[in-house]
Amino acid sequence: MTPEMQHLIDSLSENHTLTLAQYAALIDHRTPETAAELARRAVAVRQSIYGRDVYVRGLIEISNICKNDCLYCGIRRSSRTCRRYRLTPEEILDCAKEGYALGFRTFVLQGGEDGYYTDPLLCALIGDIKAACPGCAVTLSLGERSRESYQRLFDAGADRYLLRHETADPAHYAALHPQSMSFHNRMRCLYDLREIGYQVGCGFMVGSPGQLSAQLAQDLKFIETFRPDMCGIGPFVPHHDTPFGDKPAGTVELTCFLLSVIRLIHPPVLLPATTALGTIHPTGREWGILAGANVVMPNLSPVAVRGDYQLYDNKICTGEESAQCRGCLERRMESIGYRVVTHRGDVKRI
Ligand code: 5AD
Ligand code: FES
């Protein structure tokens, strides 16, 4: 390894910060050797905070109806081939109860921006889940809403909110989204969520069309300054019925490299080994954990609709029952020397 790269890695581990130019250099000049060194340090740091525990979150994909038209996303409004569905509050509650019986203590309600899920509906649903599943945490991932809405949902008992920023570069954001969406509003949402008191997750895609190391450097700088409780990063994977259908997917290699860097920037962050990572490689999620991730999110959605939540092509876990998906991930984690733990798995703020 060159002395320059060694210096960057040392200073990142010690100070948890680099300049934008240094982040870009770390990415541009990466080698298998630097990746291995970063992963070794990331795993050591994670081990000191979370041991060999991998937290699980039960993912319930509540609706694929979305008013937005993000250029990369398979459930975008203008997709004609997407078979639309939305789960009723009763169906969502049943998924949560099934997950609770399987040991899950965190449920992530994720969906497109679907106006059916009004504040009163969601507040009642959150109350019902909390009553039926004592001691559980409810995470919402329902896109951009008003501050008042976020506040009501928080007051109703929601604990966490996931809203990927998608990219921290405003120009790149504009290239990935229709004009009706704004980077500024995305950031407004994230800061509102934080102020209200949620544990907040941001995140971005690796290898999205047009993304350069300069953009990734901005994502890393954003994580350094925002200090999210969670950070979801996964490779971009093309969906055939979108404007990016013929673009190449992101790689396991760069995604894992960035997972290690993010672990070193912000040691206590909850970092999932994502479904997208498992989609582009059969053991992608295992590689993610070995690079510094510490969360997995098995699918609890009803099997009848799973195949319809196609954010990208070839998404895994679409045929398996909840129990199978959970068992599968448990075995996968055990195969690399980790254990899945089922408590709420709150972030450790150190
Ligand atoms: N490839 C990878 N990830 C995607 N997402 C949406 N579309 C794709 C795609 N084609 C991610 C976005 C979104 C999250 C729910 O899924 O980052 O925030
Ligand atoms: Fe879902 Fe393997 S994790 S089937």
Q: Is the pLDDT score of 158 beyond 90?
A: yes
Concatenated DSSP letters of 315-341: -SSSSS-HHHHHHHHHHHHHHTT-EEE
Q: What angle do CA 180, 217, 280 make, to 5 degrees?
A: 75
Q: Is the pLDDT score of 350 beyond 80?
A: no
Q: Is the pLDDT score of 222 beyond 90?
A: yes
Average pLDDT, the chain: 97
> Across residues 233-242, what is the average pLDDT?
98
pLDDT in tens, 268-301: 999 999 999 999 999 999 999 999 999 999 999 9
Q: Which ligand is nearest to the CA of 209?
A: 1
pLDDT in tens, 175-186: 999 999 999 999
* Res. 322 pLDDT band, cuts 50 70 90: confident
pLDDT in tens, 9-60: 999 999 999 999 999 999 999 999 999 999 999 999 999 999 999 999 999 9
Task: Find out whether the beta carbon of 320 lies less than 6 Å from any atom of ligand 2.
Answer: yes
| pLDDT for 275 | 95
Mean pLDDT check: name the lowest of 82-96, 288-302, 320-334.
320-334
| pLDDT for 84 | 98
From 71, 73, 246, mutation site for ligand 1 pocket: most ligand atoms within 8 A of C-beta: 73
Please tell me the distance from the alpha carbon of residue 205 to that of residue 219, in angstroms, as a whole number: 10
* Res. 320 pLDDT band, cuts 50 70 90: confident
Ramachandran region of residue 322, left (φ > 0), alpha (ψ -120 to 50) or beta? Answer: alpha
> Across residues 77-90, what is the average pLDDT?
97
| pLDDT for 19 | 98
Pair 146, 189: CB distance under 8 Å:
no
Q: Is the pLDDT score of 224 beyond 90?
A: yes
Q: How many CB atoms lie within 10 A of CB 126?
A: 23
Structure tokens belonging to residue 329: 């991930």
Pick the atom of ligand 2 nearest to 326's CA.
Answer: 3
Task: Find out whether the beta carbon of 35 lies less than 6 Å from any atom of ligand 2.
Answer: no
Q: Is the pLDDT score of 321 beyond 90?
A: no
Query: What is the whole-number distance in angstroms between the Cα of residue 298 and the centre of ligand 2?
Result: 6
Query: What is the whole-number distance in angstroms between the Cα of residue 91 and the centre of ligand 2?
Result: 21
